[in-house]
Amino acid sequence: MIKIWSMKKNEDAAAKRRPKTSAAQIRVQKDLTELELSSTMKTHFPDPTDLLNFTLTITPDEGMYKGGAFVFSVNINTNYPHEPPKVKCTQTIYHPNVDLEGNVCLNILREDWKPVLNLNSVLVGLQYLFLEPNADDPLNKDAAEELRKNREQFIQNVKTSMRGGNMRGVQYDKVIVQ
Amino acid sequence: MKVHVKNWHAIAQWRWDTGASDVDDDGEGDVCGICRVPYEGCCPSCKMPGDDCPLIWGECSHVFHMHCLLQWISTSASKQQCPMDRRPWVTAERKVDANAAR
Ligand SMILES: [Zn+2]
Ligand SMILES: [Zn+2]
Ligand SMILES: [Zn+2]
């Protein structure tokens, strides 16, 4: 027993000396191995040694956003999983739940986050936004209004925006992939 | 022929009794939902598993490393709710295992 205690002391001292892998990194590593990426989602790590910052590209194969490639930045801070990942759309897109700065309104990224959720839940949630844009909890009020009042017009607006069109003085990014 | 034992290694195994009626082997049920490390391992801020890094049970029947749960409960976002079901967290009085001698 005495041996174990002195061993433990040495380990504590060693831990103080070298910076250890953070809890967030360990947890993200586990999340990434459990990721079930479908053909419509792709991750990219600009710095392969940095698991906490990457991009996610969603290419919906159905719904009104079909044919587009939507790129999100995912930034995970050291409080993960106690804090949700920070997710932003890197393009200017026309979507009721994404504002023109790229902020995303998704309940599990905000008030409904809990540490037992993982990156897979976040990715699935994001993908769902492109299948079922939701007018009830809007960040882009114009888009939400259009979706509620005139679905056909909304779909037309989505098409225009995805081609890189200009609507109401807003220049949208071209997101169509060939 | 004579055999001399020069040295030997003692190996022991232990696990927390999480109160689950039977041990499930699907590998999912016995990890802490917050850090995803098995209950028998320790939370990411500890070095050695064991009594220094105990488990904590909620009335809702969910189990976590105590350190992991306390860190979550101390955030304002937690609203003092269970990380699993979002019900108010109430720490359960650990019932003494009635059939400990099984
Ligand atoms: Zn834990
Ligand atoms: Zn611990
Ligand atoms: Zn619970």
Output B9 or A160, whichever has higher pLDDT. A160
What tokens does B14 get? 């232990």
Distance in Å, alpha carbon of B66 to nearest chain A alpha carbon:
14
Query: Helix, strand or coil for residue B81?
Result: strand
Where are the domains positioned within chain B?
28-94
Lowest mean pLDDT among A98-112, A120-134, B14-28, B37-51: B14-28
- The superfamily (CATH) of domain B28-94 is Zinc/RING finger domain, C3HC4 (zinc finger) (3.30.40.10)
Q: Any idea what the CATH number is for the domain that residue A149 is in?
A: 3.10.110.10
pLDDT in tens, A28-69: 999 999 898 889 999 999 999 999 999 999 999 999 999 999
Bridge partners of residue B38, in order along the sequence? B31
Q: Is the pLDDT of residue A166 over 90?
A: yes
> CA A74, A77, A82 angle in degrees (round to 5)?
105
* B96 and A CB contact within 8 Å: no
* A137 and B CB contact within 8 Å: no
Q: Is the pLDDT of residue B27 over 70?
A: no
- Count of all residues that appear for chain A in the document: 178
A81 prior amide bond cis, ω within 30 = yes
pLDDT at B6: 82
Verify whether the Cβ–Cβ distance A115 to B44 is below 8 Å.
no
Lowest mean pLDDT among A53-57, A126-130, B25-29, B88-92: B25-29
Rounded CA separation A152/A159 (Å)? 11
Given pLDDT bands bounded at 50, 70 and 90, which one contains residue B74?
Answer: very high
Q: Is the pLDDT of residue B83 over 70?
A: yes
Q: A101 lies in a domain?
A: yes
Chain A residues touching residue B68 (CB < 8 angstroms): 115
Output the average pLDDT for chain A.
Answer: 90
For residue A22, what is the nearest residue in chain B, using CA coordinates? Answer: B44
Average pLDDT over residues B10-32: 63
Rounded CA separation B91/A165 (Å)? 56
CA of A173 to the centre of ligand 1 (A): 42
Q: Residue holding tokens 């890197």? A: A90
Verify whether the Cβ–Cβ distance A27 to B44 is below 8 Å.
yes
Rounded CA separation B99/B34 (Å)? 29
pLDDT at A9: 56
Q: What phi and psi, each to the nearest 5 degrees, are found at residue B58?
A: -100, 160
Is-contact B55 B40, C-beta < 8 A? no
Given pLDDT bands bounded at 50, 70 and 90, which one contains residue A87?
Answer: very high
Whether residue A89 lies in the annotated active site: no
pTM: 0.79
Q: Is the pLDDT of residue A8 over 70?
A: no
Q: A111 lies in a domain?
A: yes
Residues with CB under 5 A from ligand 1 (ion): B 32, 34-35, 43, 65, 68
What tokens does A75 get? 């930034």
Output the average pLDDT for chain B.
Answer: 81
Chain B residues touching residue A82 (CB < 8 angstroms): 34, 71-72, 75, 77-78
Q: Is the pLDDT of residue A112 over 60?
A: yes
Q: Is the pLDDT of residue B23 over 80?
A: no
Chain B residues touching residue A111 (CB < 8 angstroms): 77
How many domains in chain A? 1
CA of A83 to the centre of ligand 2 (A): 19
pLDDT at B20: 58
Given pLDDT bands bounded at 50, 70 and 90, which one contains residue B98?
Answer: very low
* B77 and A CB contact within 8 Å: yes
Q: Are strands A70-75 and A86-89 parallel, antiparallel or unpaired?
A: antiparallel
Rounded CA separation B19/A32 (Å)? 30
Given pLDDT bands bounded at 50, 70 and 90, which one contains residue B19?
Answer: low
3-state secondary structure string, chain A? Answer: CHHHHHHHHHHHHHHHHCCCCCHHHHHHHHHHHCCCCCCCEEEECCCCCCCCEEEEEECCCCCCCCCECEEEEEECCCCCCCCCCEEEECCCCCECCECCCCEECCHHHCCCCCCCCCHHHHHHHHHHHHHCCCCCCCCCHHHHHHHHHCHHHHHHHHHHHHCCCEECCEECCCCECC
Average pLDDT over residues B42-71: 92
Given pLDDT bands bounded at 50, 70 and 90, which one contains residue A25?
Answer: very high
Q: A60 lies in a domain?
A: yes
Q: A5 lies in a domain?
A: no
Q: Which amino acid is at B49?
A: P
Q: A10 lies in a domain?
A: no
**A148: containing domain:** 21-171
